[in-house]
Amino acid sequence: AYKRFSELLPKEERENACSARVPKSQILTLPELRANPFQDRICHVFSTSDTRDDSMSFEDFLDMLSVFSDSATSDIKSHYAFRIFDFDEDGTLDRNDLEQLVNCLTGQGEESRLSTAEMEQLVQNILEESDIDKDGTINLSEFQHVVSRSPDFARCGALQR
């Protein structure tokens, strides 16, 4: 992990990799993130940057790798997936978060974008399946409940490496 992290730094900074921060643009060159539709959110969620530039310290990088690893528990993976899907960072997945999530998965192009009616139906289906307390949003425990019924989540979910 240290070697991979330091290789993302300019040569002159590699000696001090433990105290350096890798810019988001470099993190996004990793093969595991390059084609991930949630790459920006992943960098944002794992970054502890005070300047909110989504750069990563070595510790941030280790946290990200550990969540992506096969040995991470489903609870850990689902917790971070929830944070990644919570685009407005309000602690719930509401209709707007779900629409953004679907757009990330289907692509932003006109040919792949769902119609308004299709999007509304899909979001409604997700809420009917997941919103246990019927408040119009999905909280972390509701999300984890749905994930627990999906054995493929840890293998094929958003946090697949």
pTM of the model: 0.89
**Local structure of 97: helix, strand or coil:** helix
Q: Residue 55, Cβ neighbours under 10 Å: how many? A: 20
Where do the structural domains in the chain lie, given as residue ranges? 1-68, 74-156
Chain position carrying tokens 């850990």: 76
Q: Is 74-156 the same fold as 1-68?
A: yes
Class of domain 74-156: mainly alpha
Q: Residue 143, Cβ neighbours under 10 Å: how many? A: 19
Confidence band (pLDDT; 50, 70, 90) for 161?
Answer: very low
pLDDT score at 150: 81
**Full DSSP string of 26-57:** HHTTSHHHHT-TTHHHHHHHH---TT-S--B-
Tens-digit pLDDT profile for residues 7-63: 999 999 999 999 999 999 999 999 989 999 999 999 999 999 999 999 999 999 999
8 Å CB contact between 96 and 87: yes
Q: What distances in angstroms separate CA 48 from CA 5, 24, 39, 124, one per listed residue?
A: 16, 12, 16, 34
Q: Which amino acid is at 61?
A: F
Domain 1-68, CATH number (from 1.10.238.10, 2.30.42.10, 1.10.940.10, 1.20.1250.20):
1.10.238.10
Contacts of 36 (CB under 8 A, 6+ apart): 42, 158
Tens-digit pLDDT profile for residues 54-112: 999 999 999 999 999 999 999 999 999 999 999 999 999 999 999 999 999 987 677 77
